[in-house]
Amino acid sequence: MNGIHDLGGMHGMGPAVREENEPVFHHEWERRAFAMTLAAGSLGKWNLDMSRYAREQMPPAEYLSTSYYEHWLYGLGRLLVEHGLVTREEIEARLAGKTGGQVRAQRAPEGIRVLRAADVDELLRRGGSARVAEDIRPRFKPGDRVVAREIHPVGHTRLPRYVRGRHGAIDRDHGVFVFPDAHAMGQGRKPQHCYSVRFAARELWGSDASPRDAVYVDLWDDYLDPA
Amino acid sequence: MAMTDPHHDHDETQRREHGAPLSDTELRVKALESLLVDKGLVDRVALDRLIDTYETKIGPRNGARVVARAWADLEYKKRLLENATAAIAELGFTGRQGEDMVVLENTPKVHNLVVCTLCSCYPWPVLGLPPVWYKSAPYRSRAVIDPRGVLRELGLDLPDDVEIRVWDSTAEVRYLVLPERPEGTEAMSEEELAALVTRDTMIGVARVEAPRR
């Protein structure tokens, strides 16, 4: 979707400002929102691409006026409701100070494996690679000239607006990966090659840009045509 | 692991002392947590463990060790540039948000800079969780269109003859910058070298400073 999250190339957002000796979290609620997102994600009801897509659907004005973990919180609430783990009414009842009719200390629904403290280290150490061990032929090889497709999917995509229709060259082939546009929409993995594509700064931003500089963007086969 | 009581946190204590109410966001997080715990979907002790891991165990000191090893051991550096995921795993750093790594070497003529314009992808196993500026609109919007301006704002002024390569982390590959080793460090141990390497030098928004004599 052509959403507000696709920020590359915009002006007017103000200067980048570093906070010296920045803590990992600034508020207790950030800690809890972060950890709840990881723990709920480990239930296996949705994938990372669905998580990103959920955050991208935050209303644009709200997205720009809230912080990173507020985006996460929005996405988490949305996913929990969409996947039937909680209802909006239950959340609102809690906010109103009621238990919403819930019996305390319920057991998780059948077939759901809840993340326990003893499993946290292994979960993080293992991670979950989006690489797919399938022998799929690459459409391009390093050095090939390509053009990013001028497409505007209404669902999730990782093709930023600022490269659409622009020419570049394959820098390297990362291998076969899950295709997020399909994966986020519950349409399977659609595995294909993902490449780092080099775009000259002047190709993207015109003659005022540096003649030397370049932007490298990771793009899948389905985002590219031969140039 | 230290067990923390989620009902007794610093922010809340401060506010109670000043008589200020909880914000909407704080209330929403508390409501959601109590609901998920009561439904048996999350375990509070697991949440504490996740938080503790990223506050005390996983952070930029990990990445600094990778960089120092690469500076001290040219064979390691070769492996790191060829297969970063495997070379970083040699030091024990693997997993979530670092499953597939690529290391980018800075040279006197090429400077690499990492961003994620679409969200805030960042190599967690080696750098921990990203700082606010990395996740914020100013950096995400302008790192690709005006990298030199953004670097100047962050205190790094690069000459025109240095090529800047901006890496937009749009997929599941995570990037770590291998900064240049400063002069005057030839006699330093790997541990001393690691102490020079900051988070920002591994994102590409700073250079490693030579040690003060």
Residue A107, pLDDT above cutoff 80: no
A-interface mutation test, from B11, B51, B81, most A Cβ less than 10 A away: B51
**Taking CA atoms, what residue in A is nearest to B57?**
A121
Give dist(CA A55, CA A70) in Å, integer. Answer: 9
Give A126-194 as a DSSP string: H----B-------S--TT-EEEE-----SS-----GGGTT-EEEEEEEEEEE--HHHHTTTS----EEE
**Taking CA atoms, what residue in B is nearest to A125?**
B95
Contact A106 B40 (CB under 8 A): yes
The pLDDT mean for chain A works out to: 95
CA dihedral for A38, A44, A47, A53, sign (positive or negative): negative
Instruction: Show the low-confidence residues of chain B (pLDDT under 50).
Output: 1-8, 16
User: Which A positions 30-69 lie with beta carbon below 8 A of chain B?
Assistant: 31-36, 38-40, 43, 52, 55, 64, 67-68
Integer Rg of chain B from CA: 20
Residue A103's pLDDT is: 53
Contact B170 A114 (CB under 8 A): no
CB < 8 Å to A100, chain B: 35
Residue B3's pLDDT is: 42
Shortest alpha-carbon distance between residue B146 and chain A (Å)? 8
pLDDT digits (tens, 9 = 90+) for A140-185: 999 999 999 999 999 999 999 999 999 999 999 999 999 999 999 9
Does A73 contact chain B (CB < 8 Å)? yes
Q: Which residues of B are catalytic?
A: 116, 119-121
Q: How many CB contacts within 8 angstroms connect chain A with chain B?
A: 287
Contact A218 B168 (CB under 8 A): yes
Residue A49's pLDDT is: 98
Residue B7's pLDDT is: 43
Does B47 contact chain A (CB < 8 Å)? yes
pLDDT digits (tens, 9 = 90+) for B53-98: 999 999 999 999 999 999 999 999 999 999 999 999 999 999 999 9
| Residue matched to tokens 């793009």 | A219
Q: What is the mean pLDDT of residues A81-109?
A: 82
Reported ipTM: the value is 0.96
Q: Exposure pattern of A65-101 as b/e (b: 16+ CB <10 Å)?
A: eeebbbbbbbbbbbbbbeeebbeeebbebbbeeeebe
Contact B26 A29 (CB under 8 A): yes
Residue A104, pLDDT above cutoff 90: no
Give dist(CA B33, CA B41) in Å, integer. Answer: 10
Does A159 contact chain B (CB < 8 Å)? yes
Residue A109's pLDDT is: 78
pLDDT digits (tens, 9 = 90+) for A15-74: 999 999 999 999 999 999 999 999 999 999 999 999 999 999 999 999 999 999 999 999
Does A117 contact chain B (CB < 8 Å)? yes
Tell me the percentage of chain A whose pLDDT exceeds 70: 97
Contact A7 B117 (CB under 8 A): yes
Determine what percent of chain A falls in helix, strand and coil, rounding each to the nearest 5.
35, 15, 50
B-interface mutation test, from A102, A210, A216, A223, most B Cβ less than 10 A away: A216
Q: pLDDT class for A127, splitting at 50, 70, 90?
A: very high
